[in-house]
A and B are shown apart, each in its own frame.
Chain A
Amino acid sequence: MSTTNPANETAEMSAIVLEQAERLFRGEITKERLEAADGGAWPAELWAAIEENGLTLAMVPEAAGGVGLPAADALKLLRLSGYHTLPLPLAETMVGAALWAEASGEAVGGPLAIGPTAPGEQLLIAKSGSDWKLAGTLTRIPWAAQSAHALLHARDAAGAGYLVLLPQGSGRIEPRANIGKEARDTLMLDGVVVPAAAVRPAPAACREGMLAAGALVRTQQMVGAMERALDYALAYVMERKQFGRELAKFQAIQQQLAEVAGLYAISSAAADGAREAWGRPGFEMSVALAKARVGEAVNRLTDVCHQVHGAMGYTQELPLHFATRRLWAWREEFGNETHWQRRIGEWACANGGEALWRALAENRFE
Chain B
Amino acid sequence: MEAFQFDVPALPADALEAERRVREFLARERAAGTYQPHLSSWNTHDAEFSRRAGRAGLVAVGFPKEYGGQGWSMLARYVIAREMLANGAPCFAHWIAERQSGPQILRHGSERARKLILPKICAGECTFGIGMSEPDSGSDLAAVRTRAVRQGDDWVINGSKIWTSNAHNAHYLIALVRTSEADGKNRHVGLTQFVIDMAKPGVKVRPIYNLAGGHEFNEVHFNDYVVPDDMRVGELGAGWDMVTGELAFERSGPDRFLSDYRLMVELIDRVGTKPDAYQAVEIGRLVSHLSALTRMGTSIAGMLTAGKSPQVEAALLKDVGNVFERELPEVARRIAPVQPAPDDAGARYSETLSHIVQHAPSYTLRGGTREILRGVIARALGLR
Interface residues of A (CB under 8 A from B): 227, 230-231, 234, 237-238, 248-249, 251, 253-255, 257-259, 261-270, 272-273, 276, 288-290, 292-293, 296, 337-338, 340-350, 352-354, 356-357, 360-361, 363, 365
Contacts and interface: CB of A to CB of B under 8 A. Distances in A.
B271 interface: yes
Closest 8 CB pairs of A and B: A345-B280, A345-B284, A344-B284, A341-B284, A353-B265, A258-B374, A254-B378, A258-B377
Given A266-B292, A296-B285, A227 B3 contact: yes
B377 A349 contact: no
Contacts of B1: 227, 230-231, 234, 261
Contacts, number: 187
B174 interface: no
A254 B382 contact: no
B295 A273 contact: yes
Contacts of B230: none
Contacts of B269: 352-354
Contact of A293 (B8, B266, B288, B384): B288
A254 B4 CA distance: 17
B279 interface: yes
Contact of B264 (A237, A276, A356): A356
Contacts of A259: 319, 374
A353 B381 contact: no
Contact of B375 (A230, A249, A258, A354): A258
20 contacts: A238-B383, A253-B383, A255-B375, A258-B319, A258-B375, A258-B381, A265-B313, A265-B320, A269-B293, A269-B299, A270-B288, A272-B6, A344-B285, A345-B275, A345-B283, A345-B285, A349-B280, A352-B273, A353-B265, A365-B291
Given A257-B378, A266-B320, A248 B291 contact: no
A269 B377 contact: no
B216 interface: no
A234 B383 contact: yes
Contacts of A293: 288-289, 291-292
A360 B294 contact: yes
Contacts of A296: 285, 288
A170 to B, nearest CB: 36
Instruction: Tell me the dominant secondary structure on chain B's binding face.
Output: helix
B contact residues, range: 35 or more
A354 B104 CA distance: 35
A272 B7 contact: yes
Contacts of A270: 288, 291-292, 295
Given A248-B383, A255-B378, A345-B282, 8 more contacts: A254-B374, A262-B320, A269-B293, A272-B7, A342-B280, A349-B279, A353-B266, A360-B294
Given A262-B320, A345-B279, A350 B381 contact: no
Contacts of A357: 86, 261, 265
B7 to A, nearest CB: 7
A227 B4 CA distance: 10
B375 A346 contact: no
Contacts of B293: 266, 269
A289 to B, nearest CB: 5
B295 A269 contact: yes
Given A248-B384, A270-B291, A293-B289, A349 B274 contact: yes
Interface in B271-325: 271-275, 277, 279-285, 287-296, 299, 313, 316, 319-320, 323
B111 interface: no
A338 B282 CA distance: 9
A262 B314 CA distance: 11
A169 B299 CA distance: 48
B288 A338 contact: no
Contacts of A238: 382-383
A262 B316 contact: yes
Nearest to B290: A360
B29 interface: no
Interface in B315-370: 316, 319-320, 323
Nearest to A231: B1
B27 to A, nearest CB: 11
Given A262-B316, A266-B293, A356-B264, A254 B384 contact: yes
Given A293-B289, A361-B83, A353 B264 contact: yes
A341 B288 contact: yes
Interface in B178-211: none
A342 B287 CA distance: 11
A345 B288 CA distance: 9
Given A258-B377, A356-B265, A292 B288 contact: yes
Contacts of B292: 266-267, 269-270, 273, 289-290, 293
A337 B319 CA distance: 22
